[in-house]
Amino acid sequence: ESPVSQAGISSSAGRRERVGEVDCFELSPSSVLKLQKGDITTWFVDGLTDAIVNAANERMLGGGGVDGAIHRAAGPELKMACYEMPEVLPGVRCPTGEARITPAFQLPVSRVIHTVGPVYGVVQNAEFLLRSAYRNSLKLAKDKNIQYIAFPAISCGIYSYPLDEASKIAITTVKEFPNDFKEVHFVLFSDDIYRAWLEAALEFM
């Protein structure tokens, strides 16, 4: 049984195509949104114009979840590069909702974009901050001429953002950038997150 029917979705949206393990949706004639289950630390396209996004914290010195996995795979130089980012407040290198870029060191991509999503249930404007994290990552990638970018499900682990809301915010924010990238990917670590993203893409794409 395909993941689509497991998700309880009977009809598929237009302009959707499943290629192997990847769901592809047309953002524009020159740009594709792709969803897949997997580990973002092994994702790459060409090692030159590609970037992965890290769900970091404001200190930017590593942590658990995808942040820990990215730092382990990139090697210790990534922490050094993050350490050298200027602090905008004591201990804060990247405020929630903003984004920073570093080299990717031992990772197969060219760059890492570090962004910080909100902790769900703690702040009032969580939706604005999660949208800002995606939007500022995409803006920074565009400024650096990144052509291929992959996101994890920001705030959906330790920061416990509800998956149905987070997936809607993620997909609709990518739609604000229909012509800026060749491919925008979501590399999703678990079945439940993958299914939430697929449902949002089928609804909003």
The residues of the shown chain that bind ligand ADP, judged by CB under 6 A, are 39-41, 55, 65-67, 69, 117, 152-159, 187, 189-190, 193
Write out the E strands in the chain. 16-19, 22-28, 31-37, 50-55, 99-103, 111-115, 148-151, 183-188
Which CB sits closer to ligand ADP, 12 or 190?
Answer: 190
**67 among known catalytic residues:** yes
Which CB sits closer to ligand ADP, 13 or 122?
Answer: 122
Q: Which residue has the tokens 């993941």?
A: 3
Q: Could you tell me how many residues make up the chain?
A: 205
CB 30 to ligand ADP: min, Å: 26
CB 187 to ligand ADP: min, Å: 5
Q: Which residues neighbour 10 within 8 Å (Cβ) at sequence distance 6 or greater?
A: none
CB 185 to ligand ADP: min, Å: 11
Backbone angles phi, psi at 30, to 5 degrees: -110, 10
CA distance 1 to 93: 45
**Exactly one of 39, 46, 50, 67 is catalytic; which is it?**
67
Which CB sits closer to ligand ADP, 65 or 178?
Answer: 65
Which of the residues are catalytic? 67
